[in-house]
Amino acid sequence: MPALPETQERFLAAVLGRDPGAAAPWPRRRLSVYRVNARENFAGALEAAFPLLHGLMGHDEFRSMSWAYQRACPSRSGNLFHCGERLPEFLTRHLAGTGDAPLAVVAEFEWLIQQVLVAADGSAVRLWQSSLPLFALWEQYQRSGLVARLAAPAAGQVESLLIRRAADGVELQRLTSAAGSES
């Protein structure tokens, strides 16, 4: 009889679909309950951490991406907060050269927000700069829970945002250039 740690590793491999042979000892229908649960919990954690990305991609595409990401970059912890850490890099690789490539920048922005939310009090501030108009999308999402399509950046424009943890979440502030015009 295999030792408990080995059985647990084989079960996890079967649940996450990493090794088709690992599923042999368990009935397929029973295993599917765990597979669906693992997939949905992972996708739900990503959706909570990346709401703009979810809104821009749409629910079905986001869920499909979440499962592909989970297979490529499985969580190494029972704490699903960290499961999104490698998502910007994953999207950068998979969307390079496509019209959806800016979605990787959105993921990077939202991961930075997650870092601010859990940072030590003295370091709960970050600066973000991008040619994408993410401030307007963030404000729209905060007001309505919905986001519009990602607008193409204006040539040569860079948006600078100060991201800081507030008592009730996170606060974004658009910074202005030294000349006084918004950047």
**Which tens digits make up the pLDDT trace of 105-123?**
999 999 999 999 999 988 8
The residue among 111, 114, 119, 58 whose CA lies nearest residue 89 is 111
**pTM score:** 0.84
The answer to whether residue 179 is domain-embedded is no
The answer to whether residue 24 is domain-embedded is yes
The answer to whether residue 131 is domain-embedded is yes
**What's the total number of domains in the chain?**
1
Domain that holds residue 127: 4-174
The answer to whether residue 37 is domain-embedded is yes
Contact 141, 129 (CB under 8 A): no
The answer to whether residue 66 is domain-embedded is yes
Distance, CA of 62 to CA of 54 (rounded, Å): 6
Give residue 177's pLDDT.
55
Give residue 29's pLDDT.
79
Whether residue 61 is predicted with pLDDT greater than 50 in this model: the reply is: yes
